[in-house]
Copies of this chain bind each other. A is one copy, B any other.
Amino acid sequence: MNERVAIKGYLTQCAELTETALKRSIPAVWDVPERLREAMLYSLEAGGKRLRPALILSAAEAVFGKTSAFNAALPVACAVEFIHTYSLIHDDLPAMDNDDFRRGKPTNHKVFGEAMAILAGDALLTHAFHLIPQAARQGGISAEVALAIVEDLARLAGAPGMVGGQVADMLGEQGITSISELEYIHLHKTSDLIVFSVTAGGRIGGATQKQIELLARFGRNIGLAFQIQDDILDLIGDEQKLGKKTNSDVQQNKVTYPYLIGLEESKAQVERLTQEAKSAVLEAGFQDPLRLLEIADYLVQRDH
């Protein structure tokens, strides 16, 4: 990846590196019940933008200044995708959102049954924490850095992070009336894993504490912008490009940013959050901040 490609190409390259690493991420020598392995891989390989891995890789590149930081970053990029995937499997369960399809494919429990879907999710979540020590064993990062990444992931994916956001979303369904309640949900349900991704990438690249804080601010802001943009696309997006029906939020009576503050103010908010995110990156004085800045813009300009 020496040539300077446009951001879409860069994200595609990051996604391809991630796909390859994901295929090798569960050791073939492990004696795992075959059906469990299938259930884990079914959802893991179901695609998606691989945005979080790309953020880990690009944050490592921003701080370190070279894509050679990618090697140490790839096991961690896989780890965040394991967490993201488990959360989707559990979210889709009958007791939760009860979804039959995700990305055009039957959801995990529709294929493997509810019990296996719960266990496959548990196994994916657990395995994320097996991948991070690998980054240290491969010599890319110190044990101290790997341990800090483990602690960050456990916090940002756990009760005070992603799971907490999921709970708040569940408990608040239909009853949300203020922007601060909705922001709490999105900050934890969506932004926290994005904050993890950019700060983990930063740690791998050798960021200072101050730089890690600025990366966290970048992550919080693009995470929130990403979520509001999702709400906007659901309202006015192109169904063909999105690959799903629009207006589903309205039909499901979901409380969204456009619902609470209107479409124009939502768009303005996305713009403000993106600018705020980019300021944080510029303030950090990274070796090569370009990819992070491009990703911030890309997330707003995307049409799917």
A-side residues, CB < 8 A to B, are 26-27, 30-33, 35-37, 40, 86, 90, 93, 95-96, 113-116, 118-119, 121-123, 125-130, 132-134, 136, 142-144, 146-148, 150-151, 153-155, 157-160, 163-164, 166-168, 170-171
- Some 10 contacts from A to B, beta carbons below 8 A apart, are A26-B159, A31-B164, A32-B159, A118-B118, A123-B159, A129-B150, A130-B154, A133-B147, A133-B148, A146-B147
Q: Is the CB of A95 within 8 A of B122?
A: no
Residue of B nearest to A156 (CB): B126
Q: Is the CB of B130 within 8 A of A114?
A: no
Known: A127-B159, A136-B147. 14 other contacts (CB 8 A): A26-B159, A30-B159, A32-B160, A35-B167, A95-B113, A116-B167, A121-B122, A122-B125, A123-B158, A129-B151, A130-B158, A133-B154, A143-B144, A150-B150
Residue of B nearest to A154 (CB): B130
Q: Is the CB of B127 within 8 A of A126?
A: no
Could you say which of B33, B90, B155 contacts A164, with CB atoms under 8 Å apart? B33
Residue of B nearest to A125 (CB): B125
* A109 CB to nearest chain B CB (Å): 8
Q: Is the CB of A122 within 8 A of B90?
A: yes
Please report the C-alpha to C-alpha distance between residue A154 and residue B121 in the assembled complex, in whole angstroms: 14
Residue of B nearest to A184 (CB): B31
Q: Is the CB of B119 within 8 A of A163?
A: yes
Please report the C-alpha to C-alpha distance between residue A166 and residue B136 in the assembled complex, in whole angstroms: 30
Which residues of chain B are near A116, meaning CB under 8 Å?
167, 170
Which residues of chain B are near A142, meaning CB under 8 Å?
143
Q: Is the CB of A168 within 8 A of B33?
A: yes
Please report the C-alpha to C-alpha distance between residue A115 and residue B121 in the assembled complex, in whole angstroms: 14
